């Protein structure tokens, strides 16, 4: 009887122990699932927050670019006139204008050696000065393509300058920061549509360069490599140069006609490359703010600092909203307390003075 009772007790004790183990295992699984679920939600929250912060920074950076370019558009330093440097060696007098930025600051674009130079035009100007070619026909063809290229560059600078000037008429820097990227996109889109049409027109209109005999004579005689050739050609000018020019002009016109109607994509490719090169070159114009030399990057950093409070306020609101949606009321309360203490400057000693 005693053995039977003992066995029953042992069995019951073992069953209770097994049940206890199962309960512990079940509770451990629930705790693990809770932790895993919390980790997933936190990871998702951080990922969404990172994406949102990148979008906000992109918005302010693109707005800063638009603001910087709008100030540039009110100056006269963009190369919009082919009669002056950097298209030719003829210098022009430009009076720098100062514009308000950051409320009480003044931004100025000086017309100095750096801003007056242009990497898109320096090469063509130097080629026209030296006349590297030693054959009259090659000279005509090179002069023709340089004319097309310079006309396209000049047109794009003029169109961009006009668009930036119109954008500059918006008196509020904050409004330009908000709507500038959209306006700049529209301006670029419109220029991109007009460019192919102007390129085709320019291809045919520039054929006149083949018949500028007086200009060609002046340029060729100024180069020692051409003097002997030009003098011999100049004697039989109407017998020799005119047929060459006519034949070459007809060949160029035929090439455009055939290439455009057989394959139009190359036209859009060429004009798009020129447009983006011209627009990209505008980013490199230097300026000064209150006498301190700046560029686009330092100005954008200044804009981020100037609008720091509004940026952090926007990010804070998004953090609170995301914490409530992903972590519930406790996550919302925790983030609210941390952001409030950060706003009060409690963590300034740790370098977290994000609002100020």
Report pLDDT digits (tens) over 31-53: 656 666 767 777 777 788 888 88
Beta strand pairing call for 287-289 and 105-108:
antiparallel
Residue 275 buriedness (CB in 10 A; 0-12 / 13-18 / 19+) = buried
Measured CA distances, 290 to 23, 76, 105, 303 (Å): 73, 20, 6, 15
Q: Closest Cα to residue 224, out of 331, 158, 132? A: 132
Q: Closest Cα to residue 112, out of 157, 81, 77? A: 77
In the numeric block, which tokens belong to residue 311? 């940026």
Q: How much is the CA Rg of the chain, to the nearest whole Å?
A: 35
**pLDDT for res 230:** 47
Mean pLDDT for each 10-residue chunk of the chain (356 residues)?
52 54 55 66 78 86 91 88 88 78 83 89 83 66 88 94 90 87 92 90 83 63 53 50 72 73 73 92 91 88 83 80 73 71 62 53
- Spatial contact of 155 and 198, defined as CB atoms under 8 Å apart: yes
**pLDDT for res 12:** 55
> What is the C-alpha to C-alpha distance for residues 44 and 147, in angstroms, rounded to an integer?
57
- Spatial contact of 116 and 80, defined as CB atoms under 8 Å apart: no
Cis peptide before 86 (omega within 30 of 0): yes
Name the pTM for this structure. 0.76
Angle 334-339-345 (CA atoms, 0-180°, nearest 5)?
130
SS (HEC) of the chain? CHHHHHHHHHHHHHHHHHHHHHHHHHHHHHHHHHHHHHHHHHHHHHHHHHHHHHHHHHHHHHHHHHHHHHHHHCCCCCCCCCCCCCCCCCCCCCCCCEEEECCCEEEECCCCHHHHCCCCCHHHHHHHHHCCCCCHHHHHHHHHHHHHHHHHHHHHHHHHHHHHHHHHCCCCHHHHHHHHHHHHHHHHHHHHHHHHHHHHHHHHHHHHHHHCHHHHHHHHHCCHHHHHHHHHHHHCHHHHHHHHHHHHHHHHHHHHHHHHHHCCHHHHHHHHHHHHHHHHHHCCCCEEECCEEECHHHHHHHHHHHCHHHHHHHHHHHHHHHHHHHHHHHHHHHHHHHHHHHHHCCCHHHCCCCCC
What lies within 8 Å, CB to CB, of 129 at 6+ separation is 89
**pLDDT for res 23:** 54
């Amino acid at each position: 009887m005693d053995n039977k009772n003992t066995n029953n007790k042992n069995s019951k004790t073992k069953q209770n122990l097994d049940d206890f183990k199962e309960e512990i295992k079940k509770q451990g699984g629930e705790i693990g699932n809770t932790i895993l679920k919390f980790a997933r939600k936190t990871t998702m929250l951080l990922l969404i927050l990172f994406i949102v912060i990148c979008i906000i920074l992109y918005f302010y950076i693109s707005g800063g670019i638009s603001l910087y370019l709008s100030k540039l558009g009110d100056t006269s330093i963009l190369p919009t006139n082919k009669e002056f440097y950097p298209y030719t060696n003829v210098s022009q007098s430009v009076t720098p204008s100062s514009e308000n930025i950051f409320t009480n600051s003044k931004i100025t674009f000086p017309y100095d050696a750096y801003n007056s130079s242009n990497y898109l035009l320096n090469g063509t100007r130097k080629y026209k000065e030296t006349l590297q070619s030693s054959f009259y026909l090659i000279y005509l063809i090179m002069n023709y393509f340089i004319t097309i290229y310079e006309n396209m560059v000049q047109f794009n600078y003029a169109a961009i300058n006009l668009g930036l000037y119109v954008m500059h008429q918006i008196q509020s820097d904050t409004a330009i920061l908000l709507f500038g990227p959209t306006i700049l996109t529209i301006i670029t889109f419109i220029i991109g549509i007009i460019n192919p049409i102007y390129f085709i027109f320019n291809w045919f209109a520039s054929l006149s360069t083949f018949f500028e005999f007086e200009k060609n004579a002046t340029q060729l005689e100024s180069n020692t490599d051409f003097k002997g050739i030009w003098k011999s050609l100049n004697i039989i000018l109407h017998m020799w140069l005119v047929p060459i020019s006519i034949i070459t002009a007809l060949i160029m016109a035929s090439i455009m006609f055939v290439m455009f109607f057989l394959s139009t994509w190359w036209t859009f490719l060429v004009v798009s490359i020129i447009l983006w090169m011209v627009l990209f070159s505008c980013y490199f114009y230097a300026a000064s703010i209150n006498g301190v030399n700046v560029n686009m990057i330092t100005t954008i950093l200044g804009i981020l600092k100037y609008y720091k409070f509004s940026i952090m306020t926007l990010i804070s609101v998004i953090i609170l909203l995301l914490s409530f949606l992903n972590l519930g009321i406790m996550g919302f309360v925790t983030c609210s307390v941390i952001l409030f203490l950060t706003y009060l400057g409690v963590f300034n000693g740790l370098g977290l003075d994000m609002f100020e």
